[in-house]
Amino acid sequence: MKLVSYWHDTAPAFAGGVDGPLSGHYDVAIVGGGFTGLGAARQLAKAGARVIVLEAGRIGSGASGRNGGHLNNGLAHSFLAAKSALGTERAIALYRAFDDSIDTLETLIAEEGIACDFRRAGKLKLASKPGHFDAIARNFEAVNREVDPDTALLSAADLNGEVGSPFHGAMLSRKSAMMHMGRFVVGLADAAQRHGAILAEDAAVTGITRAGGRHSLATGRGTITANEVLIATGAYTTPNFSHFRRRIISVGSFIIATRPLSDAEIASVVPGNRTYVTSMNIGNYFRLSPDRRLIFGGRARFSATSDQRSDAKSGAILRASLARIFPQIASVDIDYCWGGLVDMTSDRYPRAGQQDGLWYAMGYSGHGAQLSTHLGMTIADAMLGREDRNPLKGLPWPAVPGHFGKPWFLPLVGLYYKALDCVQ
C-alpha cells in the first residue's frame, strides 16, 4: 500500500515553476497554490494583470491534491438549516454559487483542454438510518421547490441499481460531478502560466508588511512587492497569518483507494457510478476513480495532523468501515492511503472578502473542491473592479474562542459527534 495521494501518484507534477531568487513588483501576489489561488491567478492573468503565486510546497500539495474528488452541487448543510442560519436570500445565493462552481469548472476544463475525466455523475446523499431518511425528505422538499428542481428523492427500493448496500433511501442531486483532481490542479496551473501568471514553488511567505500603498511579501527565496494580496492558504494557513489561524480549524481527513475493481465487483458495490455520501455525522464518502478503484474517505479520527503515521492509523479504521458497508469486497487490496487537512470554520460556511487590506477566500469545511476555483475567480473579478458576485460578502467571521492555531478541542468534538451518531 502506498501512503501517498492517489491523485498525486497518477498525474504529472507541475513543471512550470519559476527558478532562482524572487524579486520585483506585481499587480497581485497570491499566497497558496491550490484551487483558490490558481483559479484567481488564471482569471487575473487573462485580464492582463501581472500576477505571482507563492506556494510553500509544490503546486497542489495541499487539500487540492488530496481530496475525495466529489464535485457536489448545492450546500453540504441542510438547506433548511442554511436558511435559518443565513437568511433565505443568502442561503439561496450560496446554494447557487456551488451550482455555478460546477458550471465554471466544466467551462474552464473545455476552454483550457484539461484532460481530467470531468463527468456529471450525480450525487446520492444516502440515509444510514430510517430517521435520517425523514430529515433528507424534509430537506429535499425545500431544495426541490425553492432552489434545485434537478433533484429527486429515492426510496430504499429505488437504490437497487445505485449502490450495493442497504441504505434507507437517498436524495439525488443530478448536477453533481467528479473528475481527476491531480490532473485538474496541474492543468489549472499550466493554464494560469500560459496566460502569463508566474508560479513559484518552495516559496513560503513568512511575513507581509505594508508601506506607501504597497504590500511587501518576504519569502525564503526573496522579497516581492504587490498592489494587492490574496490569502488562499486554507487549512495550511501558517501561524504568521494569526487573524486567519484564529478562525480556521484545521482537521485531518483521510482516504483509502482499493485496487481497480472488476466489472462484477463494480456492479455489486456502486453500479450507479455516482458520488455517494452517507448521512452519519462521522460519515463516509465514496466514488470510483477513472481506473475503477473505489476511493473511500471519511473523518475516521478527529486528528489535527495528517502524516504517514496518522494516515495509516486512519486507513485501518476506514478499511473496517468499507468492510461494514460493502462486506462483498471486505478483503479487497487497498493500494493507496492518504490524508490531508480540511479548513473548517465553526459554522462550516466558507468565508471570502477583505481584511486589513488583504483579500481572502477559505473555510470550505470539506466542501470546496468545486467552490474554491470559482471563488478564487470571483475574488479576482472583485479585484479587477468587475461586478462583485461574492456570495459571502459581509458574512461575520468571529474568532473561535480559545483557538490560537492548534485545535486542542478536537477530541472533545469527536466524542460529541460519536454520541450524536448513537442517538440520532
Ligand X SMILES: Cc1cc2nc3c(=O)[nH]c(=O)nc-3n(C[C@H](O)[C@H](O)[C@H](O)COP(=O)(O)OP(=O)(O)OC[C@H]3O[C@@H](n4cnc5c(N)ncnc54)[C@H](O)[C@@H]3O)c2cc1C
The residue ranges that bind ligand X (CB under 6 A) are 31-37, 54-57, 61-64, 66-70, 204-205, 232-238, 253, 255, 297, 339-342, 362, 364, 366-370, 372
Shortest distance, position 305 Cβ to ligand X, whole Å: 12
Smallest separation (angstroms) from ligand X to the CB of 9: 15
Known binder of ligand: residue 56?
yes
- Residue closer to ligand X by CB (options 159, 257) is 257
**Grid coordinates in use for 149?**
428542481
Nearer to ligand X, 216 or 328 (CB): 216
Q: Of 234 and 391, which CB lies nearer to ligand X in the complex structure?
A: 234
Q: Does 89 appear as a known binding residue?
A: no
Nearest approach, Cβ of residue 384 and ligand X (Å):
20
366 vs 391, beta carbon nearer ligand X:
366
Using DSSP's 3-state secondary structure scheme, residue 324 falls into: helix
Q: Which residues contact 122 (CB under 8 A, 6 or more apart)?
A: 172, 173, 174, 175, 176, 272, 274, 275
- Shortest Cβ distance from residue 203 to ligand X (Å)? 6
At closest approach, how far in Å is the CB of 149 from ligand X?
Answer: 22
Please work out, in degrees rounded to the nearest 5, the angle formed at the alpha carbon of residue 59 by the alpha carbons of 238 and 19. Answer: 100
Residue 273's nearest CA partner among 106, 118, 121 is: 121
CB of 110 vs ligand X, minimal distance in Å: 20
Q: For 390-409, give the DSSP string.
A: -TTTT---PPPTT-SSS-TT
Q: Which is nearer to ligand X, 169 or 182 (CB)?
A: 182
Structure-block grid coordinates of residue 40 = 484567481
Q: Is 373 annotated as a binding residue?
A: no
Give all strands of the β-sheet with 170-173 in edge-to-edge order.
151-154, 170-173, 123-126, 275-278, 284-288, 294-298, 249-258, 334-344
Amino acid symbol at 189: A
Closest by CA position to 176, among listed 261, 249, 273, 241: 273
Distance CA 138, CA 256 (A): 32
Q: Element (H or E) spanning 358, and its range?
A: strand 358-362
Of residues 105 and 262, the one with the C-beta less far from ligand X: 105
Bridge partners, residue 422, by sequence: none
- Report the nearest approach of ligand X to the CB of residue 309 (Å): 16
Q: How far apart are CA 318 and CA 297, in angstroms?
A: 7
Shorter beta-carbon distance to ligand X: residue 57 or 222 = 57
Residues belonging to the binding site for FAD are 36, 55-56
Residues belonging to the binding site are 36, 55-56
